[in-house]
Chain A
Amino acid sequence: MNPRRQKRLMGISAIVLLVAAAVWMMLTALSENIDHFYTPSEIVEGKNGAMPQVGQRLRIGGMVVPGTVNRDPDTLAVSFDLVDVGPIVTVSYNGILPDLFREGQGIVATGRLTEFDFIVAEEVLAKHDEEYMPPELAEKMKGIKHVKPQNIGAGQ
């Protein structure tokens, strides 16, 4: 192997290594920051046969069950239940709720699953149902049978 070729080979392998390292770094960063979207029933019953792991970051979309919004009288801490077709998941959040947060409305929260049915949210988003529903939620809610939230509360 002549020196010119050797130099060239070194150059190419350096570039390949660099690209590989960059891709690896990107994939690592990506896998840590993908927020999968779940509905309350998918959190409790699993999604595509897999249960979400406690400690995992995720997004959840559902309807706020009327009468479950509890506020701490001294701080901004708030908790509420979310429902879609049956199981209920509780979300706790410390901060200002969005302008359009209402009982019975669809909301999307991003946060971490700390128990199998309990989420500590970092962000809560809500928009007027009539004008907008987060696309993921709209898709999930198409054609599924809705159990009336009050009936669930009574049934359990």
Chain B
Amino acid sequence: MFAELGHFSLILALLMSMLLAIYPLWGAQKNHQQMMATAKPLAIGMFLFTAFSYVALTYAFYTDDFSIAYVAHHSNSLLPWYYKITAVWGGHEGSFLLWVLIFAIWTVAVALLSDGIPKAMVARVLSILGMVAIGFYLFMLWASNPFESLLPFYPVDGRDLNPLLQDFGMIIHPPMLYMGYVGFSVAFAFAIAALISGQLDSTWARWSRPWTIAAWGFLTVGIALGSWWAYYELGWGGWWFWDPVENASFMPWLIGTALMHSLAVTEKRKIFKSWTVLLAISAFSLSLLGTFLVRSGILVSVHSFASDPTRGLFILALLGIVIGGSLILYAVRAPQLKSVGRYEWFSREVMLIGNNLLLTAATMVVLLGTLLPLVHKELGLGSISIGAPFFNEMFVYLIVPFVLLLAIGPLSRWKRQSPKALQKHLIVAFAISVSAAFLIQASYDQMTYMATLGLVLSGWIFVSTIQEIMQRTDASHNKERSLLKRLTSLTPSHWGMVFGHIGFAVMLIGITLVSNYEEEKDLRMRPGDVVELGGYAFQFTGVRDLVGPNYSGHVGIVDVYTDTSLSEKVTHLEAEKRFYPVQRTSMTEAGIDSGISRDLFVALGEQLNNGAWALRLYIKPFVNWIWAGAFLMAFGGVLSMCDKRYRMAKVAKVKQRFAKLATPDVEASNVATAQKVSQGQA
């Protein structure tokens, strides 16, 4: 009964999205206040109905309602309650429901938090979000309904949730990732609204900045969680596999990073406008493409409950309308986007656009590597796969110029920077980072070029970031004030940048050290055997049986000591191998001892004869820095959003005050005047 209400509620949400797509936009075009004012209640309505629908499905999972096909396929009465709730997004239909729920959350957030933005703009933005939402609600109701019933015949018990997804990391990974994916829709809607309205100055860039940063932050955390999950759950010790699903989330992240920076340039310097608009469209388009690639089964084939290709076709049609439509609009309107600022070859603008191009190139590499197998097959050239070394090699090429620009960029001035003035900074940064790289490597047995390169690059970012802070605090404030005061006088968004860049450096250190200095052994061990690896002694104590709520299995017990005398114990590790009878799959739970400078990692393999077991042992130096770096970057995003400039209501008040003083508002006037004014200034 509840489930039917959920279904009905979804239909109402569709209706809301249709009204939202029409009225506010119409109102904005006709300058009709009442029609524009419908945007907010409609957005709230869309959210409430979607949320109710989601709660209804969750309730069906919680109460083991196996008469609903989706519940029967993805849950089981033995599943612990918390996994029942998270199993809602364990499959196709439910994860789409989560997707639209998050879409509705973003929409309602825009509706509620946009007090400082002109009503017509908000109305257009919400209408565009409404249009996109229509497509997804139609898709769900037509081809992917999570409430489809199995009545009158339904199974006594469900098929169970994929064991890979029965894990804490998986509980929070998809919502975070979707928050990021879907969040780019806001920047997209602002860009499209600007194109539609013809109000092509850079105000839209300021309005969409906090939204873009928020989406980017979520995506960063989402990807990091996914990588962390793969690390301890798959038992391969890897943290990034370049598989299509990962790539699908990585592409919007790369473009999102470029967008975030490009928006800053467009807002502050009123240049690169058409580029920024293109990035805003691309970031959301790549999110949609990622959804399509993952959900259509075009790259990953899952056999059971084969979805009909109509689903894939539907999403593709949706992509065609949303992406194709916005790119047509772009092709028509972008020539009118005029950049007004001037800059020289060596300036912060050029560094930022340079890094934008490098990020775009990186996206192209990932896109090519992900889709080439498909294209190759379609051209009749046979099945291929692109190995991870391709991506790794390309990213090594790309990261060197990227880091150089990243480090110099913040030190440089807008418009024009004299290279000479930077010379001293660069020499100091280079000297420090090279010596640091050699010092760090001295603690390892051998040096490699790659490790040196990676460490120099990360050191370079660290040093130049500190130089930049010093430059700021020295220049803008009286030396008599205490250092702390001067540091706190920097804006939160400035600290956001600092954390973002430092986070990237931390991540780079982790990646460099773990890729170059990890130690691995696949071994055959009998209880009592001791093996030495990377300065630790691993003793395999034995295996005991394991009984879980919906699985059984074995636990391999390994004690780690500082040396083979086994006198000083470091840690006790338990590596599980679980067997899930309902899905008939095995799962590895690695035993990991985490630390700042290294992880000790043990995975249990198969049972061999004579009581021996196959074991995989790893020492992963600094692997946690990868995720720590990602969280630092996301924290930088949070700081940036806290900046006062983005508190719309306050900004609006200040603006009003200025308006009273009859100051001409350059940004609100049309492009032609803006140009005149800037020419006059120049």
Question: How far does the alpha carbon of A139 sit from the alpha carbon of B606 in the complex, in Å?
Answer: 30
| B522/A36 in contact, CB under 8 A | no
Provide the residues of chain A in CB contact with B300, threshold 8 Å: 135
Given contacts A96-B606, A99-B587, contact A34 B303 (CB under 8 A): no
The answer to the question of A97 belonging to the interface, with a C-beta cut-off of 8 Å to chain B, is: yes
Across the interface, B524 reaches (CB within 8 A) one of A30, A34, A74, namely: A74
Q: How far is the CB of B293 from chain A (nearest CB, A)?
A: 14
Provide the residues of chain A in CB contact with B387, threshold 8 Å: 33-35, 57, 110
The answer to the question of B379 belonging to the interface, with a C-beta cut-off of 8 Å to chain A, is: no
Given contacts A34-B384, A37-B384, A132-B303, contact A99 B586 (CB under 8 A): yes
Given contacts A96-B606, A97-B606, A99-B577, contact A36 B384 (CB under 8 A): yes
A34-83 contacts to B (CB < 8 Å): 34-37, 47-48, 57, 59, 71, 73-76
Closest 5 CB pairs of A and B: A96-B605, A99-B586, A33-B390, A37-B383, A135-B301
Residue in B closest to A108 when the chains form the complex, CB atoms:
B385
Besides the known contacts A35-B385, A95-B522, A99-B585, 13 further A-B residue pairs in the complex with CB atoms under 8 A apart: A29-B389, A29-B393, A32-B390, A34-B385, A48-B382, A57-B387, A94-B522, A97-B606, A99-B606, A110-B387, A131-B302, A135-B300, A138-B301
| B390/A30 in contact, CB under 8 A | yes
The answer to the question of A85 belonging to the interface, with a C-beta cut-off of 8 Å to chain B, is: no
Provide the residues of chain B in CB contact with A76, threshold 8 Å: 522-524, 605, 614
Question: DSSP majority for the A interface?
Answer: mixed
Given contacts A33-B389, A95-B522, A130-B584, contact A22 B361 (CB under 8 A): yes
| B524/A36 in contact, CB under 8 A | no
Provide the residues of chain A in CB contact with B577, threshold 8 Å: 99
**Binary contact track B299-340/A, C-beta < 8 Å → 1, others 0:** 011111000000000000000000000000000000000000
Q: Tell me the A residues contacting B by CB distance below 8 Å.
A: 22, 25-26, 29-30, 32-37, 47-48, 57, 59, 71, 73-76, 94-97, 99-101, 110, 128, 130-136, 138-139
Question: How far does the alpha carbon of A26 sit from the alpha carbon of B369 in the complex, in Å?
Answer: 10
The answer to the question of B156 belonging to the interface, with a C-beta cut-off of 8 Å to chain A, is: no
Question: How far does the alpha carbon of A47 sit from the alpha carbon of B380 in the complex, in Å?
Answer: 12
| B585/A131 in contact, CB under 8 A | yes
Question: How far does the alpha carbon of A22 sit from the alpha carbon of B586 in the complex, in Å?
Answer: 44
Across the interface, A136 reaches (CB within 8 A) one of B383, B522, B583, B588, namely: B383
| A33/B386 in contact, CB under 8 A | yes
Residue in A closest to B586 when the chains form the complex, CB atoms:
A99
Question: How far does the alpha carbon of A138 sit from the alpha carbon of B302 in the complex, in Å?
Answer: 11
Question: DSSP majority for the B interface?
Answer: mixed
Question: How far does the alpha carbon of A134 sit from the alpha carbon of B299 in the complex, in Å?
Answer: 11
Given contacts A76-B522, A99-B606, A133-B303, contact A26 B385 (CB under 8 A): no
| A96/B616 in contact, CB under 8 A | yes
Provide the residues of chain A in CB contact with B587, threshold 8 Å: 99
The answer to the question of B394 belonging to the interface, with a C-beta cut-off of 8 Å to chain A, is: yes
| B383/A36 in contact, CB under 8 A | yes
Q: For B303, B365, B605, B606, which residue has the most chain A Cβ atoms within 10 angstroms?
A: B303
Q: How far is the CB of A147 from chain B (nearest CB, A)?
A: 22
Q: How far is the CB of B146 from chain A (nearest CB, A)?
A: 21
Question: How far does the alpha carbon of A132 sit from the alpha carbon of B522 in the complex, in Å?
Answer: 27
Provide the residues of chain B in CB contact with A97, threshold 8 Å: 605-606, 614
Question: How far does the alpha carbon of A84 sit from the alpha carbon of B368 in the complex, in Å?
Answer: 31
Q: How far is the CB of B450 from chain A (nearest CB, A)?
A: 15
Provide the residues of chain A in CB contact with B608, threshold 8 Å: 71
| B585/A100 in contact, CB under 8 A | yes
Q: How far is the CB of A151 from chain B (nearest CB, A)?
A: 28
B493-531 contacts to A (CB < 8 Å): 522-524
18 cross-chain CB contacts under 8 A: A25-B394, A26-B394, A29-B389, A30-B369, A35-B384, A37-B384, A47-B382, A57-B387, A74-B524, A96-B603, A97-B606, A99-B577, A100-B585, A110-B387, A130-B584, A131-B302, A134-B301, A139-B383
